[in-house]
Structure 1
Amino acid sequence: MTATCAVVLAACILGVLYPYAIYPAVLTLLPKVPVEPRPAPRMRFSLLFCAFNESNALDVKIPNLEALRKVDPELQVLAYDDGSLDDTLTKLSERPDLVEVFQGSGRLGKAHGMKVLAGQAVGDVLIFTDANVTLREDALERLSSWFSDPEVGGVCGTLRYVNADDSSTAAVGGAYWRLEEKIKTLESRTGNVMGADGSIFAVRRELYPDFPDTVLDDLTVSMAAVFAGKRLLKVDDVVAHERLVTDRKDEFSRKARIAARAYHTHRVMKPQLRTMSRIDTFKYVSHKVIRWFGGLFVIIGTVAAIGLATTVAPFLGLAALVAVAASTVIAAKVKSGPIAALAEIVIALLATLLGVLRAARGRTYSTWAPAGSR
């Protein structure tokens, strides 16, 4: 019994650490597949974003779009309003010179809205972003240089958060994202990134796939480049900025929703996933699948640790159980410092697991709402 608990505990610790520590180390050992930016022929871009109740964000977004249009007067900007209850639609509609606006008939969701916009796009390359994200003014020029290589089908930019010091939730979220960006860079150097974040990525228009409204469109669209045999790159010189969620409850809900959509998308993409190369399959499982069950490793590992303590001495098992309960209560109340940071990590893992379990039971998400603490 003691040996069994020890082995299970060790395996769970390995399962939690592998995607974030061991996997990146393995990536550094894989063969490099370099791609270099180069002078690009003239190409046209279409920039697409969906919005729901993003009136405040548009006060920053619209000036950013103006700056991008000054750099590229031919930039096509398309926006989809998903039934906003504030004056999002009004603000977008006030700028027909800058933005072509499409309005949904009620709440239909981002995936639906992006499909509508992609159907109206005329650019050689489609740029996907969010209503609350701003792009650095040289983003279009940088994208052109990467897409000058015909083997490049998609490009994931770099997202930088601007408020990581606002709370423990934001600090942990910012640290997680810096690690995520590093992992994607390592993946890119060895071939393909395993999917894009919706804040900033671009694909060639002819690669845009068909998909149901319930999927995570960022993952579906970006992985279409990989399925088509093209490169999906992560680059450091296409930069976007966004604000982090600062409230623990908001972040829990957000992560659970994203995980549910990601796992549902995984099931929809299974036929295409089977066609990937062995190296891409290895990266996909390491980056995506194992992470989804980090919360399960935490739960099983905790039970195994209590069981291990009990096999040594019953009072140690009881002490371990009390320690776990006390830690849970304390972590729920502490909002700063190392304990709060550890709590944020565990909560994120559990939220992801909850989302996966919801998706496994058939629950899907198509709509979203901006986090109030963003």
Structure 2
Amino acid sequence: MPFLLFTCIFLTFYAYFGYPLSLFLLSLFRCREVQKSMITPAITFIITAFNEEKRIREKLANTLALDYPPELLQVVVASDGSTDRTNEIVREYAARGVLLLEVTARGGKENAQKEAVAIAQGEILVFSDVATMIEAGSLHRMMANFADPSIGCVSSVDRVIGRDGKPCGEGAYVRYEMWLRDLEGRVNSLVGLSGSFFAARKEVCRDFSPDMQSDFRTLLNSMRLGWRGVGDPEVVGLYQDVGDSGREFDRKVRTVLRGLTVFFKNLEFLNPFRYGLFSYQFFCHKLLRWLVPLFLAGAFLANAALASSSLCYLSLFLLQSAFYLVAGGGWRNPALGRRTPFKIPLYFITVNVAIAVAWLRYLRGNRMVMWTPSER
């Protein structure tokens, strides 16, 4: 029991802190700078949408306001079987160069992206969600990374803002993820891209699959072709936290479920003799992180069995219990959940419960394809 307890605690902390620390120490000796240069390749900007009549005008206005030569920018809205006024609204922008791609039979986000890739004219493809707002100069800054011949794909930095205009619990977690991505890109390559705003060379996107997470798969395709992925802190995707926490939980489950699907269909990347450092990153950032719910359960149960044997074990058990009670208090009382002492534990537990649910669905053979955008 003591071995189980401390092994589970160690692996939990290593997944979130030990792995970043190892990258930081490695960055002291190994640093792969991106050789940027201001270039203007032809771009196809792909927006996937499903029943977005409330937000599509704002997204198109934001996209058309981007500072990039219009003759080099193709804007495609891939409407995934929308049944509201989304298609009608998008057609209003045809004179301004916006192309509507109607995917009549709804097949999911990745399927819509695959259809858009087939008609894309740009050498660099940019993918974005309707809910994500982008700063005017972001495309120029993003394209500068592709001047480096080692770069296959580029991710934005996510920033999540609460209803009050301040960073929310998810925002703190996202900032942690952005910090980790910065370390990964500094020493080698990212392991995943921001699904709401990323770019890739067209060659990387030729085999999109409807049942596989496009951002994760795009990164793996880049590595397979001898390129790497980086994040650019000057390229920001800004979006609000969700209005419906239940639907956001479902989104997290869906994201992990698709990630598991991609992971287990690409186990070749665990071979360090072929992919070197990336194999370690692939294991730690993905599989080890996804195993944290198992470690948390193991640590709690082993600690419960040992609690009566010593004051040390009892204190540790009470500390674990208090953490879960704080998260539970934030869940039961939304007002408490918005306060810093509650919102970070609550978000941490919510994420890991979502991971656990995703594992159960994956092991049952569920491979989710459909997607409904979260209300924000």
Give yes or no for TM over 0.5: yes
Partner of 1:175 in structure 2?
172
Contact 2:189–2:229, Cα closer than 8 Å, also in 1:
yes
Distance 1:301 1:116, change over 3 A: same
Distance 1:228 1:164, change over 3 A: farther
Ranges in structure 1 where 5+ consecutive residues have no aligned partner: none
**More deviation, 138-147/176-185:** 138-147
Contact 2:270–2:283, Cα closer than 8 Å, also in 1:
no
Secondary structure of the corresponding residue to residue 35 of structure 1: coil
Partner of 1:12 in structure 2?
8
- Displacement of 1:25 in angstroms is 1.2
Following superposition of structure 1 onto structure 2, how do residues 251-270 of structure 1 map, counting pairs within 5 Å?
251-270=248-267
Partner of 1:103 in structure 2?
102
Give, in whole Å, the separation in 2 of the partners of 1:122 and 1:328: 48
**More deviation, 95-104/286-295:** 95-104
Q: Does 1:349 align with 2:352?
A: yes
- Displacement of 1:256 in angstroms is 0.9
Q: Does 1:334 align with 2:333?
A: yes
Secondary structure of the corresponding residue to residue 229 of structure 2: strand
Ranges in structure 2 where 5+ consecutive residues have no aligned partner: none
Partner of 1:79 in structure 2?
77
How many aligned positions are there?
363
Contact 1:111–1:215, Cα closer than 8 Å, also in 2:
yes
Secondary structure of the corresponding residue to residue 354 of structure 2: helix
Following superposition of structure 1 onto structure 2, how do residues 179-194 of structure 1 map, counting pairs within 5 Å?
179-194=176-191
Pick one of 269, 283, 286 that aligns with 1:285: 283
Letter matched to residue 296 of structure 1:
L
CA RMSD of aligned residues (A): 2.6
Give, in whole Å, the separation in 1 of the partners of 2:303 and 2:18: 22
Q: Does 1:140 align with 2:139?
A: yes
Q: Does 1:210 align with 2:241?
A: no
Contact 2:46–2:128, Cα closer than 8 Å, also in 1:
yes
Give, in whole Å, the separation in 1 of the partners of 2:143 and 2:331: 47
Pick one of 298, 301, 305 that aligns with 2:299: 301
- Displacement of 1:334 in angstroms is 2.7
User: Deviation string for 1:182-235 (max 9, x for gaps)?
Assistant: 100110011111021211111111222414311111111232111111121111
Secondary structure of the corresponding residue to residue 235 of structure 1: strand
Partner of 2:41 in structure 1?
43
Contact 1:294–1:350, Cα closer than 8 Å, also in 2:
no
- Displacement of 1:20 in angstroms is 2.1
Contact 1:158–1:240, Cα closer than 8 Å, also in 2:
yes
User: Deviation string for 1:244-263 (max 9, x for gaps)?
Assistant: 22543233211111111100
Partner of 2:59 in structure 1?
61
Partner of 1:159 in structure 2?
158
Contact 1:54–1:132, Cα closer than 8 Å, also in 2:
no
Letter matched to residue 277 of structure 1:
Y
- Displacement of 1:136 in angstroms is 1.3
Give, in whole Å, the separation in 1 of the partners of 2:11 and 2:164: 29
User: Deviation string for 1:1-27 (max 9, x for gaps)?
Assistant: xxx2x3222222222222222211111
Letter matched to residue 169 of structure 2:
V
- Displacement of 1:307 in angstroms is 0.7
Query: TM-score w.r.t. structure 1 length?
Result: 0.89
- Displacement of 1:160 in angstroms is 1.8
User: Deviation string for 1:288-312 (max 9, x for gaps)?
Assistant: 1111111111111111111111444
Q: Percent identity?
A: 27
**More deviation, 141-150/121-130:** 141-150
Secondary structure of the corresponding residue to residue 54 of structure 2: helix
Give, in whole Å, the separation in 1 of the partners of 2:235 and 2:261: 29
- Displacement of 1:284 in angstroms is 1.1
Distance 1:369 1:245, change over 3 A: same
Letter matched to residue 159 of structure 1:
D
Letter matched to residue 365 of structure 1:
M
Give, in whole Å, the separation in 2 of the partners of 1:60 and 1:216: 26
Give, in whole Å, the separation in 2 of the partners of 1:334 and 1:59: 35
User: Deviation string for 1:97-132 (max 9, x for gaps)?
Assistant: 332111122320011111100010111101111111
Distance 1:165 1:186, change over 3 A: farther
**More deviation, 143-152/123-132:** 143-152
Distance 1:308 1:63, change over 3 A: same
